[in-house]
Amino acid sequence: MLELDRVVKHYQSGAGEVRAVSGVDLTIAPGEMLALLGPSGSGKTTLLLLAAALMRPDAGTVRFDGRDLSTLSENEACDYLMNDIGFIYQGVHLMPRVSTLENASIKLMLGGVAMRDAQARARPWLERVGLGAHLRRTPEELSGGERQRVAIARALCGEPSLILADEPTGNLDSARSAETIELLRSIAHERGAAVLLVTHDAEAALIADRCCTLRDGELLDGHHAATEPPAVALDQRRPAAQA
């Protein structure tokens, strides 16, 4: 579904050139959840922006269903982002003073779905992330974790085939965080969506089917779940994570 082939992305900054992503090879299959770990500044967000065609690589190719994203016109790139991608942004970005239901359905409405239908499709996703009782609240009336869950429902209600999640559990407590990651994984498994999950959370990464690490723009590994620590390691982490 998503294939990155020797992808390179540099930024120009006052201090000179920053190699944000340097020579990354990565493939995600339908139905698979891949966790991408890595310290701050290692290029994780840049990789998601490249996968969403919000940015073009300086070298290498990013393909979705076999199509080179750098060949898309502006309109095609926009359609790709609207129809194929569910992007859960690191900064949440909800519309102020607008209800939870309206915030979650906005992307469908921008895609041309009538308001009533968009809200009917968004509602079950809001219920699924535990916000069924807060449909009429505005972001100002929600906690940080609840706002984050609105953004997750907004990304999922268009039923995207590729979910790009940039630290979606950053504002959530550990129980909600594990629930959210399990929700993303179950969407991958139920609907054959691919999930690229950027996270700092090693426990979240253990829930994923596969896990890899970026450091200074380079991928360190890409091992399969079968080679990961056994389930007992997860149980042992829990008390430490809550301490």
Ligand X SMILES: Nc1ncnc2c1ncn2[C@@H]1O[C@H](COP(=O)(O)OP(=O)(O)O)[C@@H](O)[C@H]1O
Q: Which is nearer to Mg ion, 89 or 138 (CB)?
A: 89
Work out how close the CB of 93 gets to ligand X at its nearest, in angstroms, rounded to a whole number.
Answer: 16
C-beta nearest to Mg ion: residue: 45
For residues 111 and 31, give the distance between their C-alpha atoms in angstroms, rounded to a whole number: 25
Partner whose footprint covers residue 108, from ligand X, Mg ion, none (CB < 5 to 8 Å by kind): none
One-letter amino acid at 38 equals G
Which of 82, 31, 19, 35 shows the shortest CA–CA distance to 54?
82
Which of 149, 154, 213, 206 shows the shortest CA–CA distance to 33?
206
What stretch of H or E contains 108? helix 100-110
- Residues at the interface with Mg ion (CB under 5 A): 45
Work out how close the CB of 221 gets to ligand X at its nearest, in angstroms, rounded to a whole number.
Answer: 16
Partner whose footprint covers residue 13, from ligand X, Mg ion, none (CB < 5 to 8 Å by kind): ligand X
Partner whose footprint covers residue 23, from ligand X, Mg ion, none (CB < 5 to 8 Å by kind): none
CA 139 to chain centre: 21
Q: Which is nearer to Mg ion, 45 or 171 (CB)?
A: 45
- Residues at the interface with ligand X (CB under 6 A): 11, 13, 18, 20, 38, 40-46
Which residues, listed in sequence order, are joined to residue 28 by a DSSP beta bridge?
2
Q: Which is nearer to ligand X, 19 or 189 (CB)?
A: 19
Q: Are strands 2-13 and 162-166 parallel, antiparallel or unpaired?
A: unpaired
Q: Which is nearer to Mg ion, 14 or 91 (CB)?
A: 91
